[in-house]
Chains A and B, each alone.
Chain A
C-alpha cells in the first residue's frame, strides 16, 4: 500500500499517540488511564460475474481511552489523532467518568507485562501491496473460472495496521500486523457452485490460480444437484465448514463471561468431544494470523481449550479474571466490553488422514464444503441451524456419487465434536468471525439435516 497521511504500519508512532492520550487524561485528573491505538490501511478488490465491480482502500485510525477516577470508568473513542481530537476524546471520557457510579468490583487496569516480539505477524509484501497486485489476483481466479466454463465472484483484501496500548500502570506495548485474504465463489450454468479461500500474513504467498482452480472444479462437480431427503447422515466437513464449528464453540462457550453467567457448556474436566479433538487458542502459531497482545495490552497466552475432547482452560480478560482471582490470559476486547473475552486464534490439532480417506470411511453420507448463515437455536447445547452451500455431495461406498441440493441442518455442535471419528492431516487458515483459525477437515458419525431448499 502507498504511503499515506497517518501512522501506517509504524508501531512506535502508534505507541507515541497512545502515550500522548494517557498523559492528556492524567493531566486533567484521571487516576488511571489506558489508550488503545489501531492505525492502518485496508484495501479490498471485489469481483463478481468474472469482472471487478468494487475496489476500495481506506486509511483509518481508532483510539479508545479508558479514563478512571477512583472506581469510576469512562470510555470514549475517536477516529482523530490531531491535538483537538485528542483533547475532545479526553474531555468526553472524563465527563463520562464523572457521571457514572463506582464499580464496586473494578479490578483496576492490568499490570504491565512484557510482550515478546512477533515478527511473523508482519509482511512488507502485504504492506506494500498495490491495487494492481489485487487486480492480478482477481484476474487469475477469473482465468481459472473461464477455463472451467464457470463464473467467478470473490474478493482479495490486504490489511496492514499498527497497534499499541499504553497505560498509567506502565503498559507500553506495540506491534504491527498484516493479513491478506482471497476468497471466491464460483457458479456454473447448471446450478453448480464452488468455494475456496486462502489467508496469509504475506499477500504474495496467496496462490490465486490454485484458489481459482479449486473453486472452479467444485462448481463443475456440483452441477445439476438432486434433492436428498433430510435426515441423519454421517458427514465429512471440510475446513471451510469446521471453522464455523470452532467459532461457535468459542463464541458461545469458551469464554469466561459465559461461564460466569451460567450460559456456557464449559466445565473444567468435562468431556465434550471425541479423543481426536484438541483445540487450542494459539496467537503465535505461524500457520494462523499471529497476534501478540489483546486490547488491554496483556500478552496473549496459549490456551488449551479442549485436550483430546476434554475441557481445559478458558480465555479471560482483566475483569472476568479478577472475579475468580486469576490474571487475564490476554483475550480482552476494546472497552467497554459487555460481551466478555473470546478466543481469537483457534488452532485445531491435525489428524492422520487424507480427505480421500475421510470420505472413504463413509458408507452412505454427505461431504459438506461449507456452512452458511448459521445461528444458535439453543445456546448452552450449542444447537445451531444453518444451510450447506457451495458443494454438498452424496457419498456412497466411500466414494462421491454426485451433488445434492443444499440442505438445512439443526444440529448441536457439541454432538459434532463428540462424533468426530477421523481428522485430516491437512489444515487451513480460515478467517472466521472471531479471527484467523487453523482447522482440519473431519468425519463425523452423524449429522442432522432438517430441511432442503427449493429449486425455483
Chain B
C-alpha cells in the first residue's frame, strides 16, 4: 500500500502541491432484511479505491478512483492538482492548516465476534426468530427485521510523513411491527427506529435480545392504533434516551460543526446559530448541560484512532455547565478560532473528501437521579420514547420531533398512551429548561448510521451517549 500512497503523494508534490494526503479504503458490507417472515434480501457489498486531496496555491483539489495502480495514482494526483488550480481562480482566503504532529500507528475497533465470520444462516436464523416473535401478536399488518455490518480497512498517508492504518467495524440490527387500521398506520420498533448501531462485533447483536423484546413491541404497535392523539398544550416532558439522542444530534451536534458556523454548508446542510462570537459566553442550556464530542469512547459509531486528516481521537467539550465552549473542528477551521483541530474530519469512503462530522456527541450523565427517579419525580408530564420523525431549521433553532410512543406521567407514574405525539420548540429554550439528567445507570451509546451532509452527498456514522432528561414548558401535540 505504501507504494501507491507514496506514488500519489510524490506526484502531487512534484506538480506543485504544498500539502497532499491520500486515503486508500476498502469497504465491505453485509445486509439482511426480513419482512413478515420472508427473506426480502441478503446482500454483500465490496468497494475499494483511493482519494487524493491536495492544497495548491492555498486552494483545495480532490480526485478519486476505483482503480488501484501506480499509473492511476499519477493520473488522479495530477487531476487533483488541476482541480485545485481551478479552485484558486475563485479564492479569497488561502487555506492554512494547523500544525498537528505527523500521525503514525494502527487502530482497530474492539471486536469479540467478527460479524462477517458468523455464518450467514446463523444470522438469518437469529433474525427469523425475532421476526416470528413479532408475529405471535395478532393484528400486525407487517413486520421488518434487519441486520447490517460494515467494515472499513483504511490507510491514510500525508506529505508530512503521516501514515496510519485503521480497521473499523460497525454493526446494527433491529425490528419493527406495523399495525394499520384505515388511515392510521402505527409503527413500533426496537431498539430504535432503523435499528441500533455500534462499533462492535456480533456480540452487540446478541446483546440486543431482539426475540425477548419482539412481542412487547408488536403489542405496543397494536395498542397505538386505538390510543388517542396527544392533545396540544405546554407540558413538562421527559425524553427517553431513545429520543434524547436525536435531540442531541440535531440541536447540539450539527450546530457545533465549525464548518457550518463559517457557512461552508450553507447551500446544503445549512448554517448554525452558534457563531464563533458566542464561544465561551452563550448560555446554550441549563447548568446541568454538559456535552462533549468524544471519539475515544468504546462502542460509538464515531470512535476511531485518527480522523481522516490524521488527527488523533480526542474528547472535546462543546457545552460546559450550559455554556457553549467548543466546536467540532478540522485542521483548516480550528486555527480561525485560535485552536488546534478537534479531530472531527471524516469521509464517507474513498471517493469523498473528509468533512467536519460528529464523532460521538454525548450528553454526560449527572449523579443524583436515575432515569426512573426522574419519572417518579415528575408530577404531571409526558414521556416521549423512540424517534419517529425529525425536522429542524437551517440554523438549527426551530425543531419538531415526533416519537413512536408517548405516555402520560401522573404523580410519578406512567399511564395513558398517546399516538402521533410531537413536541416543538427553539433549541436553546429547550436546553435551558432542562432540570433533570439521568445518572450513569441509564447512560449508553446510541448510533445514527445515516447522517447526511455535503455535496456530493455523504452518509455519516455518528454516535450519541445519553441517559434521559426532563424539560419544562415545552409545546406538544402540534396539529396539522
Contact = CB atoms under 8 A, between A and B. Distances in A.
B45 A76 contact: yes
Interface in A115-154: 130-132, 134-135, 138-139, 142, 151, 153-154
A6 B67 contact: yes
A338 B87 contact: no
A387 interface: yes
A218 B124 CA distance: 54
20 contacts: A6-B65, A44-B456, A49-B92, A54-B60, A55-B83, A56-B62, A78-B46, A99-B42, A134-B86, A139-B89, A153-B263, A187-B266, A263-B185, A335-B41, A374-B391, A375-B389, A375-B391, A408-B391, A408-B398, A456-B428
Given A6-B66, A50-B92, A453-B397, A100 B124 contact: yes
A378 B182 CA distance: 13
A402 interface: no
Contact of B65 (A4, A187, A376): A4
A54 B46 contact: no
Nearest to A260: B142
A450 B44 contact: no
Contact of A57 (B83, B92, B141, B429): B83
Contacts, number: 280
Contacts of A153: 263-264, 266-267
Interface stretch (B10-18, B71-79, B365-373, B439-447): B71-79
Nearest to A78: B46
Interface string A400-420: 000000101011100000000
Contact of A2 (B51, B67, B79, B121): B79
A456 B79 CA distance: 43
A52 B267 contact: no
Interface string B118-138: 011100100000000000000
A448 B480 CA distance: 7
Interface in B33-63: 33, 35, 38-49, 51, 59-63
B424 A381 contact: no
Interface centre among A138, A374, A453 (most CB of B within 10 A): A453
Contacts of B60: 53-55
A48 B262 CA distance: 9
Minimum-distance CB pairs A-B, first 10: A336-B41, A79-B47, A131-B86, A453-B398, A153-B266, A58-B64, A58-B351, A48-B264, A135-B86, A52-B87
Nearest to A61: B66
B479 interface: yes
A336 B45 CA distance: 11
A74 B90 CA distance: 49
A377 B62 contact: no
Contacts of A93: 44
Contact of B456 (A56, A85, A187, A411): A56
Contacts of B262: 48-49
A56 B90 contact: no
The majority secondary structure among interface residues of chain A is strand
A75 B46 contact: no
Given A44-B456, A55-B87, A80 B46 contact: yes
Contacts of A142: 90
Contact of B183 (A51, A55, A381, A410): A381
A80 B42 contact: no
Contacts of B75: 4-5
B263 A377 contact: no
B394 interface: yes
B90 A386 contact: no
Given A77-B46, A380-B183, A448-B480, A338 B264 contact: no
Contact of A56 (B49, B83, B265, B479): B83
B184 interface: yes
Interface string A32-75: 00000000001111111111111111111100000000000011
A67 B390 CA distance: 38
A375 B398 contact: no
B376 interface: no
Nearest to B456: A44
Nearest to A378: B420
A374 B91 CA distance: 33
The majority secondary structure among interface residues of chain B is mixed
B19 interface: no
A142 B90 CA distance: 9
Interface in B175-207: 178, 180, 183-185
A77 B480 contact: no
Contact of A74 (B42, B264, B420, B479): B42
A48 B60 CA distance: 13
A103 interface: yes
B394 A376 contact: no
A375 B456 CA distance: 21
A196 to B, nearest CB: 11
Nearest to A75: B43
Interface residues of B, number: 88
Given A79-B47, A387-B394, A45 B86 contact: yes
Contacts of A74: 42
Interface string B269-293: 0100100000000000000000000
B307 interface: no
B69 interface: yes
Nearest to B45: A77
A57 B69 contact: no
A155 interface: yes
Contacts of B184: 380
B111 interface: no
A95 interface: yes
A387 B92 contact: no
Interface in A344-392: 372-381, 383, 385-387, 389
A57 B389 contact: no
A230 B184 CA distance: 27
Contacts of A456: 273, 397, 428
A46 B48 CA distance: 25
A454 interface: yes
Interface centre among B119, B262, B398, B479 (most CB of A within 10 A): B398
A184 interface: yes
A262 B141 CA distance: 8
Contacts of B267: 46, 48, 153-155, 183-185
A451 B65 contact: no
A103 B38 CA distance: 7
A193 to B, nearest CB: 9
A88 interface: yes
B455 interface: yes
A337 to B, nearest CB: 7
B97 interface: no
Interface centre among A52, A61, A383 (most CB of B within 10 A): A52
A109 interface: no
Given A42-B456, A99-B124, A408-B393, A47 B62 contact: no
A74 B30 CA distance: 12
B438 to A, nearest CB: 27
Contacts of A450: 400, 424, 478-480
A381 B120 CA distance: 39
Nearest to B69: A5
